[in-house]
Amino acid sequence: MSVRVRIAPSPTGDPHVGTAYMALFNLAFARQQGGSFVLRVEDTDRARFQADSEQQLYDTLAWLGLDWDEGPDKGGPFSPYRQSERLDTYRPYVDQLLAAGHAYHCWCTSERLKEMREDQQARKVPTGYDRMCHGKSYDERAGLGGAQEQPVVRMLVPEDPPLSFVDVVRGEVHAPHPDDQVILKGDGFPTYHLAVVVDDHLMGITHVVRGEEWISSTPKHLLLFDWLGWERPQFAHMPLLRNTDKSKISKRKNPAARLTWFVEQGYLPEALLNFLGLLGYSQPDGTEIFTLADMARDFDWARVNTVGPVFDLDKLGWLNGHYVRELAPSDLADRLEPYLRDAGLYTGTADQRALLDSAVPLVQTRMAVLSECVELLRCLFVSDDDFAIDPVAREKALGADAAPVLAACADALEPLAEWTTETVQAAMDSALIDGLGLKRGKAYGPVRVAVSGASVSPPLPESMALLGKDKVLRRLRAAL
RNA sequence: GUCCCCAUCGUCUAGCGGCCUAGGACUCCACCCUUUCAAGGUGGCUACGCGGGUUCGAAUCCCGUUGGGGGCACCA
């Protein structure tokens, strides 16, 4: 029997980085085993459902190259892959559990349940449903207060449920004793616990790879598998990604929890994927630069750590810079275009593209993320009207003693017939270094600020060559 | 409060009883290169939480403790 794994995200907002993390490990394992990777959408929570979330999920996973074999958008032998479309599938199993006495109706209102829990916590006893409804009909229960007409269905958890199991990454795990979990909600939708078990079984899932936060509810799932007479899948509970303060990574505390953030910032998908593969995992030979294919080749659950790794943006930035430097210049230019466009510096004319192609080599080693190209390239693409000199840079480099330098530079460049990096640099050097007796660093400073508008810029003679004689002369004289 | 999971440099990690006076990477610092900033090169700082065992020998095994994290929903 071939391996089948799945991710089961909920469309409740921006796709979460944890989803990509799980997807990566699922996929690495599936690819290595020659198995299938299934994408199933767990949209059983109508209150939190967001319509555009599912498409964003497809987009970001595809962007990362985490390709699924079956899913709502692709179909597959076990369609549908959206739980909201499988409501009829779950009902018979609920009825079966009810008939077997493994489940019962509960009419308690959420207010009563809340009070019950608060009371339990105040008395310092473990929280859990007190079975007030168990064994009663609605009429019997209604007279006792705190009841509503529409019932839910709860599991009748026995005294001795299965509490331990062998986890693929952790070995033997002991999980807490569950309470009488709701499996069918008042609105007729199943809860995660029922849906996940039914779907995983029906879809032939062999390995359930999910976050550590699910360990404590695994006994409920084991019970359901057993009651329904189904073989249990293997479980792999991955460590949780953390914020800097070690708490579970969250959109509130960490922008990087949103997958779309990486696209906005200009991280390369190959870098993010590589980085995710470095969290809680390592290559046998210690290699740190690797692809999904590399990871799948010798994937081993035993190499997965049980400690939750902090999501460290510094290292991702370094990795991203590494991948940026590896890109073919024309490829990098393609990827830079959208950021320049958004900044209003670029419309995509042939001239602009030619300028971009020439400028890419100047900035390729200078950015960690793609969005940084805007500031790096601004001085080359900005119109004369919008060109401005940074006030701080002006203060530092364009004082009174700068005027002679700029003037000498402009005068030396003026007569140049041929305008290239070499001729520009030669003219500057002879006028400023030989002529004024300045060191190169001292001489280029004011020129850099006058021409680029900032004290940090791409290499100066190269930039001036790309800018053209007219613009350079105009900027030099304007700064006088 | 209660139950469960976890514990090596600031961060990601290697290590699965002797090869460890603990290795690599990121960050940081210094130097080199250098027209700014990067990139690149060289070097450096920094860790086995604590206490007991087991053993000839423990980062590695056991117990306790402390610390961190997660669950305890008609959310997943």
pLDDT digits (tens, 9 = 90+) for A38-62: 999 999 999 999 999 999 999 999 9
Q: Which of residues 292-331 of A touch strand B (CB under 7 A)?
A: 302-303, 305-310, 312, 314-315, 317-318, 321-322, 325
A79 touches strand B (CB under 7 A): no
Examine the pLDDT at A234 and tell me if it is beyond 90: yes
The rounded distance, in Å, linking the Cα atoms of A165 and A160 is: 14
β-bridge mates for residue A6, sequence order: A38
**What is the amino acid identity at position A394?**
R
Dist CA A99 CA A156 (whole Å): 12
pLDDT value at position A122?
87
Distance of CA A131 to CAs A28, A210, A264, Å? 44, 30, 50
Phi, psi dihedrals of residue A335, rounded to the nearest 5°: -75, -20
For residues A154-164, average pLDDT: 96
**pLDDT tens sequence across A291-309:** 999 999 999 999 999 999 9
Cβ A44 vs Cβ A84: under 8 Å: yes
CB A242 within 8 A of CB A213: no
Return chain A residues 274..293 having CB < 7 Å to nucleic acid strand B.
278-282, 286, 288
Strand B contacts in A 12-51 (CB under 7 A): 12, 42, 44-45, 47-48
Indicate if CB(A460) is under 7 A from strand B: yes
Give chain A's length.
Answer: 480
Is the separation of the CB atoms in A237 and A173 below 8 Å?
yes
pLDDT at A373 over 90: yes
pLDDT for A272: 98
CA distances from A376 to A354, A370, A397, A455, A460 (A): 17, 10, 19, 11, 12
Q: What is the mean pLDDT of residues A459-474?
A: 97
| Marked catalytic residue, from A74, A251, A253, A471 | A251
Specify whether A220 is catalytic.
no
Distance separating alpha carbons of residues A8 and A18, to the nearest angstrom = 11
**B chain positions with any atom within 7 Å of a protein CB:** 1-8, 10-16, 23-27, 34-40, 68-76
Q: What is the pTM of this model?
A: 0.95
Query: What local confidence, expressed as pLDDT, does residue A160 receive?
Result: 93
Residue A278 predicted with pLDDT over 90: yes
ipTM above 0.85, yes or no: yes
What is the Cα–Cα distance from A373 to A366, expressed in whole angstroms? 9
Nearest residue to A134 via CA among A96, A106, A158 = A106
Q: Which of A368, A393, A371, A400 is nearest to A451 (CA)?
A: A393
Q: Which residue in this structure is represented by tokens 């693409």?
A: A381
How confident is the prediction for chain A on average, in pLDDT? Answer: 96
